[in-house]
Structure 1
Amino acid sequence: MSEPQRVEQGQKRVRAVLGGRVVADTRRPVLVWEWPYYPTYHLPAADTDLEGVPDEAVRRVRLEVGGTPADLVRIDWDAVDQWFEEDEPVVVHARDPYVRIDALPSSRHVEVAVDGVVIADSHRPTILFETRLPPRYYLPLTDVRLDLLRPSGTVTHCPYKGSAEYWSVQLPDGTVHDDLLWTYRAPLPESIRVAGLVAVWTEKVDLTLDGEPQPRVQTHFRVP
């Protein structure tokens, strides 16, 4: 492992389950930022029982935590069936304790266009502000061109918001743009204000905010 960007003692109980058996259970997780966007769990070796976990999915490391050396185990996220923080399942990756989500009702004018065709126009967005990410504009379905939407079957997951379902856009000329919009039908509690609203990949569409065209954003996400 390259030198971690940050190492911090976690405060939550963390468990990993594989095949119905708990293979890790600790109240002393260590959060290690191997890259800037979120931490990985590193667990005290004494709090693990790794029978059944593939050897190649396990890395044993020794790190200083608060000035004290610790023998830790890093388990690849997908090598187990489920992770828990306390008694709540966690998906995709460990949660960053420094990420904040604010979903704020707004009266700003949001217009979304694809290839010159306006697919959404709203004066009542809910703007989701998430640490280290650009704002996301969640719009009422009634402010979106529903006649242009086609369910895509794509589902993605977020440890802070939950599971998102996607739509593609079919323009009047027949051109299809895959997975441009998504919605969280049953988001996690911290994101409940965006339930049933529709957001768009501002990386892939033309966004006008209060009459001013916005540059397309660039993020670290692999856009579907």
Structure 2
Amino acid sequence: MRHEHLRGRGPHLPPLDHVTQFDFEPGYVLFPMSVPKRLRVVAGGVVIADTVRGIILNESDHIPVYYFPIEDIRSDMMRVSGRTTTDMFKGTATYYSMLDHDGKTIEDLMWRYDGQINGCPSLLSYASFDWKKADRWYEEDEEIFVHPRDPFRRVDVLPSSRHVQVFLGGKLVADSRRANMLFETGLPTRYYFTITDLIPGIIAPSETVTRCPYKGIARYYNVTIDNKYYPDMVWYYPDPVHESSRIKGMVSFANEFVDRILVDGREQMRPVTSFSLGSDRGDPHPLSATVTV
């Protein structure tokens, strides 16, 4: 028998007690969790959703998605667009466009599921928004990027005295015993170096800017080794979010594209990730053609 007073021990995931799998797709799960944070969405310069009663929808093979109660959405600014899509796990979604105060239309900004699929929790009283078509998203008063932070993903940044070496273009380009190692659930370890741990003269600023829900806004460096050019090979976060504050100003090489990385003399496996191949989070890295699946 399970005891309520012990529920906070071990993996504390009460929502999983109520998860059911789809009969027609065993192993595929979809379940909502209530979100205690205040959530806001800004589009067309207007706050179009503001709630403390939101939910986050967790689904196999998907990034998490915030859904908002219809009562907390500026429905007066939404008009049915005529577009619908059908999902075998969630049903039929009707899309809505927004007419802003300047008379401009943001097409298919919002969607809402009209029906009910057996095994899917009811979403009838909720709606969500296209992340990229909105201006900004907020959790409380902090802007968030790309998609909601996955409640099942963790980021740890730990200083390490292990010997980390990065090789590129046949040369040792980074060498440190004071790297910060960033461990992010489901992703390869990233090794962050101070600029002085790199051989001088190999990096030059790139115009590329990307965003990460867990680390913030990233900027990039191009690398040149013996006249060979590696675009966006190195990135850094000038002002990371608080969970990743230890990597502020430090630089990391793309594990996916360097020759090799050694940690205490042991070569690390080269990963294949959405960063290298592209996914619903963004375009492939410019060096993705070098990746073999």
1:106, 1:124 within 8 Å by CA — same for their partners in 2?
Answer: yes
Structure 2: give runs of 5+ residues left out of the alignment: 1-24, 78-97, 100-105, 279-283, 286-293
**TM-score, scaled relative to structure 2:** 0.70
2:193, 2:251 within 8 Å by CA — same for their partners in 1?
Answer: yes
Structure 1: give runs of 5+ residues left out of the alignment: none
1:184, 1:194 within 8 Å by CA — same for their partners in 2?
Answer: yes
Match of 2:113, as an amino acid? V
Where does residue 73 of structure 2 map in the other structure? 48
Match of 1:195, as an amino acid? K
1:16, 1:84 within 8 Å by CA — same for their partners in 2?
Answer: yes
2:31, 2:121 within 8 Å by CA — same for their partners in 1?
Answer: no
Determine which of 126, 144, 165 is the counterpart of 2:198.
Answer: 144
Deviations 1:45-84 (A, max 9, x none): 12111413635232112679x9766411121001211111
Determine which of 218, 230, 233 is the counterpart of 1:180.
Answer: 233
2:81 paired with 1:29: no
Where does residue 160 of structure 1 map in the other structure? 214
**Quick one: percent identity of the two aligned structures?**
39
Distance in 1 of aligned mates of 2:124 and 2:42: 23
Match of 1:157, as an amino acid? R
2:38 paired with 1:38: no
Match of 2:233, as an amino acid? L
Deviations 1:174-213 (A, max 9, x none): 1101111111111111111111111111011111111111
**TM-score, scaled relative to structure 1:** 0.90
Following superposition, the deviation at residue 4 of structure 1 comes to 6.2
1:44, 1:70 within 8 Å by CA — same for their partners in 2?
Answer: no
Distance in 2 of aligned mates of 1:61 and 1:26: 19
Following superposition, the deviation at residue 146 of structure 1 comes to 3.0
Match of 1:15, as an amino acid? R
Distance in 2 of aligned mates of 1:121 and 1:55: 50
Whose strand fraction is larger, Structure 1's or Structure 2's?
1
Deviations 1:83-142 (A, max 9, x none): 111111111111112222111010111111113121111111100111221111001110
2:146, 2:211 within 8 Å by CA — same for their partners in 1?
Answer: yes
Secondary structure of 1:56's aligned partner:
strand
2:147 paired with 1:93: yes
Between 1 and 2, higher relative CO (CA 8 Å, sep ≥ 6) is seen in 1
Distance in 2 of aligned mates of 1:139 and 1:149: 13
2:134 paired with 1:109: no
Change beyond 3 A, Cα 1:68–1:58? closer
Distance in 1 of aligned mates of 2:200 and 2:70: 52
Determine which of 181, 185, 195 is the counterpart of 2:248.
Answer: 195
2:257 paired with 1:204: yes
Following superposition, the deviation at residue 36 of structure 1 comes to 4.0
Secondary structure of 2:108's aligned partner:
helix
Q: Which structure has the larger Rg?
A: 2
Distance in 2 of aligned mates of 1:36 and 1:106: 33
Secondary structure of 2:153's aligned partner:
coil
Match of 1:56, as an amino acid? D
2:188, 2:271 within 8 Å by CA — same for their partners in 1?
Answer: yes
Distance in 1 of aligned mates of 2:39 and 2:269: 40
